[in-house]
């Protein structure tokens, strides 16, 4: 479930607002988006994956909120960790050429 929009990292680009499939966020006029409907979060990690500033933290528990501390998330490198793990971090080389899942479609022909 979405737990944090980091006010120190967020640039208010609002990408998270637009990629969220369940409309969890509200645009704030002069700051980071607000987590307005946390209970609607499906823990899909789309917002965290698309955030170019690693300013979001989605906890892996979908059915309960988790207390988080931004400084601790930064120290443990959990803030933005999902983006890094899927290979989308800034400066990270793409691994798309190594993806062989397209071969699944070939077997259906």
pLDDT value at residue 88: 83
Q: Digits of tens for pLDDT over the chain (109 positions)? A: 999 999 999 999 999 999 999 999 999 999 999 999 999 999 999 999 999 999 999 998 878 788 899 999 999 999 988 888 888 877 777 666 677 766 676 766 6
pLDDT value at residue 80: 84
Of 38, 30, 44, 32, residue with least CA distance to 6 = 32
Domains and CATH numbers, the chain: 2-107 (3.30.70.20)
């Amino acid at each position: 479930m979405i737990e944090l929009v980091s006010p120190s990292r967020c640039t208010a680009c609002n990408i998270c607002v637009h990629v969220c499939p369940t409309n969890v966020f509200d645009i704030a006029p002069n700051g980071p988006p607000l987590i307005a409907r946390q209970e609607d979060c499906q823990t899909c990690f789309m917002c965290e994956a698309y955030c170019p500033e690693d300013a979001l933290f989605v906890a892996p528990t979908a059915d309960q909120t988790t207390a988080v501390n931004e400084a601790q998330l930064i120290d443990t490198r959990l803030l933005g960790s999902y983006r890094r793990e899927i290979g989308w971090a800034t400066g990270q080389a793409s691994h798309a050429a190594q993806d062989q899942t397209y071969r699944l479609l070939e077997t259906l022909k």
